[in-house]
Chain A
Amino acid sequence: MSVLHRAWAIVWKDLLIEARTKQSFNAMVFFAALVLFIFSFALGPDTELLQEVAGGLLWVGIAFTGLLSLSRTYQNEETSGGLEGLRAYPGDSRAIYLGKLLGNIVLLLLVEAVLIPAAGILFQANLWPHALGLAAVSVLGTIGFSLVGTFYSALTVNLRAREVMLPLLLFPALVPVLLGAVNATTLILEGDLMGEAVVWLRVLGAFDIIFFVICIWIFPIALEE
């Protein structure tokens, strides 16, 4: 079996578990909605203000929600020694990273598919005219977030304080992703008259490519026993 086949087997297994239990998806959607609510309370009922900062609020919500699912990426395997099993399979261990990465991307995109329209309703913004741009930002941003997140969650899974260590390592590394995603989202929601959003989409794309190469390259070292 090729690396891609084995990666796909992991994606299928994880998504099947998720489809049957829905434990992550439900918790994530509910948590994300709560984050948006808390922001709305904290910033007051001024709709204009909320619309101005909607891009930032949305991506902070996505980052916190994504963190929830990231920390479960390998913890799910731990209960019955699943990670040892995956490690023991012959072949390149990069398949584990690829599989977990794809699973995280799909799950987070599904949550965003609920979260972004919900934010549009809460902040009274008409998203339909910007659907294509928003989709591009959320795909590129989610890939960047998951690339580093899936990698660092493998690194921290065996630590005593993994709940603290994952965000401590992850969030500073994600600064370019957050800047790119927030600025692109804000520009797109404002109509992007100057065509500046493309610059930020390129930043996201460049980050995705660079970190894909680095993470794929180093992952076998991170997973050594």
Chain B
Amino acid sequence: MGVKSNIEKVLGILALVTMLVGSYVGLAIVPADAAQGNVQRLMYVHVPAAWLAFLAFFVVFVMSVLYLIQRDDRWDRVAASSAEIGVVFTVLTLLLGMMWGKPTWGVFWTWDPRLTTTAILLAIYVGYGALRSFAEDGEKRARWSAIVGVIGFANVPIVYMSVTWWRTLHQPPSSPRSVDPDILWTLMLNLAAFTLVYLYLMVRRVRYAKLEGELEKRMAYNA
């Protein structure tokens, strides 16, 4: 317990410090983009949020497969925690993207393939969370949500491809080679900060899920 709570503390402090440094560098040190001005600085939080959202859902997928193979509650707790945090990051991605889209494109929302896919992704994992809250039995909840975790993730590339064919007018994503090294460096710093925040939230959320599971067991025992 002592070691675990130490890990949690260290992760929390590291996340806070890198977040502060990353925000300071992104807001004050790196020069503003020549074409877009200060609005471009949103990218330093928008892109990491999006990457972390995808990472979180990938973790849900891997943990769901592991659960279906081994039927160990541990994997279910990690999957559920990652799904919740992934939903938070997805909402953040969409909101930050809208804040950037309004001054840059002139609209909050457009049916761009990546935007649309992200919105559908949000719907898939909100459904995952709803299923969990409606299922009462612990074993069934774990099994059913693992199935949704597998099918939901397997569907993402198909959704993305079909939406891309539907709207073929999107701009290609920037590659590291087409980006100024200062911008890339700041982006990586913020990505590290977001990853630490994700890890910190995961450690806390998984611990909470474990306590929740124990409480559920005791309540069932007393009833």
Name A's B-contacting residues (CB within 8 A).
148, 151, 155-156, 158-161, 164-165, 168-169, 171-173, 175-176, 179-180, 183, 199-200, 203, 206-207, 210, 214, 218, 221-222, 224
Contact = CB atoms under 8 A, between A and B. Distances in A.
15 contacts: A148-B151, A155-B147, A165-B127, A172-B124, A172-B152, A173-B151, A175-B163, A176-B155, A176-B158, A179-B166, A199-B165, A200-B165, A203-B161, A210-B154, A221-B143
B135 interface: yes
B162 A222 contact: no
A151 B148 CA distance: 11
A193 B152 CA distance: 35
B154 A175 contact: no
Provide the main secondary structure of the chain B interface: helix
A69 B136 CA distance: 26
Given A155-B144, A206-B158, A222-B144, A175 B120 contact: yes
Interface residues of B, number: 28
A169 B131 contact: yes
Contacts, number: 74
Interface of A is mostly: helix
List the 8 closest pairs (A to B, CB-CB), nearest first. Answer: A172-B123, A176-B162, A168-B127, A169-B127, A172-B124, A179-B162, A161-B134, A176-B158
Interface of B: 68, 120, 123-124, 126-127, 130-131, 134-136, 140, 143-144, 147-148, 150-152, 154-155, 158-159, 161-163, 165-166
B72 to A, nearest CB: 15
A159 B141 CA distance: 10
Nearest to B125: A172
B143 A169 contact: no
Contacts of B131: 155-156, 159, 165, 168-169
A173 B152 contact: yes
Contacts of B135: 159
A168 B154 contact: no
A179 B163 contact: yes
A155 B148 CA distance: 9
B162 A203 contact: yes
A83 to B, nearest CB: 14
Given A159-B134, A172-B123, A175-B159, A203 B165 contact: yes
A218 B147 contact: yes
A158 B140 CA distance: 10
Nearest to A174: B155
A222 B135 CA distance: 13
Contacts of B147: 155, 218, 221-222
A42 to B, nearest CB: 21
A172 B135 CA distance: 20
A175 B143 CA distance: 24
A33 B130 CA distance: 31
Contact of A165 (B123, B134, B136): B134
A82 to B, nearest CB: 20
Contacts of A171: 123
Nearest to A203: B162
A169 B148 contact: yes
Nearest to B160: A176
Contacts of A165: 127, 130-131, 134
Listed residue (B134, B140, B162) with the most chain A CB atoms within 10 angstroms of its CB: B162
A213 to B, nearest CB: 10
Nearest to A218: B147
Given A159-B135, A173-B124, A176-B159, A221 B130 contact: no
Contacts of A179: 162-163, 165-166
Contacts of A222: 143-144, 147
